[in-house]
Amino acid sequence: MITIISSVTEQLMIILSILVISDTFFNQKFDIKKIKHIAIFFISLTLFLLLINKPVPVSFLNNISIFFIFLYLEGHLSVSFFKKFVFSYILIASVNLMMIILFSYLNIEIINNSFISTSSILSVLVFLLFLLLNLILNKIYKVRYTNRFLILLTLMSSLFLFYLIYSDNNSLFNTDNIINTFIYIFLFIIIIIFILFLYNKEYYQRLLEEKKKNDLLAYSTIQNQYIESIIKNNEDLRKFKHDYQSQMLTIQTLIKNNDNDALNDYLQKTTHHTIHYTKVSSNQYIDSIFNYFTDKYPQLNLSLSDDIIGYINIPVSELSSLFYNLISNACESALKTPQKIVSIHLKNMIHSFSITISNSIPEDFDLAPIKEKQTTKNDPIHHGIGLYIINDIISKYQGINRYHLENNTLINEIVLIDVIK
């Protein structure tokens, strides 16, 4: 039974080594469903061989079965496939040879008995070596396949420790000192713990990224709803002002008829339109956002000039979200200064849309984090989402986003390419 598990484990390690090599050297991405199919295949093969109590023809699996498994993962025959496969196999064989030479140099003799084979041990160590190389080359905490290998790696570790527990002589290496044996076992366990630590670190980073994306999605949804309410409120106000004469006639009629109840109801329905509204641009949505902030921050000196000729061909949700976050960030910074100035200038650059926002800044203002697309707020996990939305919209239109300081003023220049019609 042990020989069967040892042989199957050897094949599993070779397959995993090829996957890691393909990922490391060829940036090859495999379908996770196919990898799961391979895992199921090896588990089924192990159970089948245990039932019939037959050894695995190792040489056959190494040279034939692995080829077809790798072909299944790749999906088709091609020159590129053969190059990857041959390179991977030669690399594995070369590292195996190097490790045999290293063991010989260190006078370590790996035993061969019914319990475990030399090739099984080497395949495990080679896989660990390539996996660690993959971790390092992928900046150690940004691993693409660690999570996919974890289940198979854990299975391999369990099988390998199973060998150690049920070995006839409780020894992996044929040495005179049993302490050395425990040192080897301890080192192997440390390697496994180290890899699991890296996985957990990567998993934690991924959770943070997912949380940030979920927070961003929730924030964007709420913000869009809020912006829509601002726009609707301003549209209602425009309609109200447009129908001003009709409104006044209605009020005069109610007063003449002494219909105080109807007059009171009418006034209650219309008084929510009393916010300040000024037409400052050729775009009603930009007007809505600008008027919202002039009402919200009356202590600020906000100004907007519009030299746009043409139609801004950007979805309303994106245009509103872009302006809302730009003006919001500028206002928050300007509020901390004595000048309290925010200035916005819109203009054409042929078919491109140029936005220049200038705002006064505190004396201790640091431009470096903003240039690196980082928030300057104290809680970067829950804040800085507005800056992320701004950069996301700009990159969608292959735009330009520049910052510079001039006379205690932060100037943000944004150009969106080919959006003016």
Q: Domain residues for 112?
A: 1-139
The verdict on 111 and 40 lying in the same domain is yes
The pTM assigned to this predicted structure is 0.42
pLDDT tens, 386-395? 787 888 889 8
pLDDT at position 388 is: 79
Tell me, yes or no, whether 33 and 66 share the same domain. Answer: yes
Same domain assignment for residues 263 and 344: no
Examine residue 187 and state whether it is found in any structural domain, yes or no. Answer: yes
Question: Following CA atoms 303, 307, 309, 312 in sequence, which dihedral angle do they give, to the nearest 10 degrees?
Answer: -40
Choose from 188-192, 219-223, 277-281, 411-415 the range with maximum mean pLDDT: 411-415
Both tokens of 270, joined, read 């219309």
Measured distance CA(281)–CA(277) in Å, rounded: 12
Q: How far apart are CA 333 and CA 328, in angstroms?
A: 9
* Average pLDDT of every residue of the chain: 69
Residue 36 Cα distances to 15, 30, 151, 152, angstroms = 13, 11, 10, 10
State which amino acid sits at residue 259.
D
Work out the number of other CB atoms within 10 angstroms of the CB of residue 53: 8
Residue 165: inside a domain, yes or no?
A: no
In this model, does residue 320 exceed pLDDT 80?
Answer: yes
Q: In the chain, what percentage of residues exceed pLDDT 90?
A: 10
- 50-59, 171-180, 326-335, 384-393: range with lowest mean pLDDT: 171-180
Query: Residue 148 domain-assigned?
Result: no
Domain count along the chain = 3
Angle between helices 284-296 and 316-334 (to 10 degrees): 30
Regarding whether 240 and 109 lie in a shared domain, the answer is: no
Residues 300 and 245 in one domain: no
Final residue in a domain of this structure, among 139, 158, 180: 139
Contacts of 409 (CB under 8 A, 6+ apart): 341, 358, 359, 360, 361
Residues 115 and 80 in one domain: yes
Is 160 a member of any domain? no
| Of 244, 272, 300, the domain-final residue | 272
Angle CA 140–141–143, to nearest 5: 80
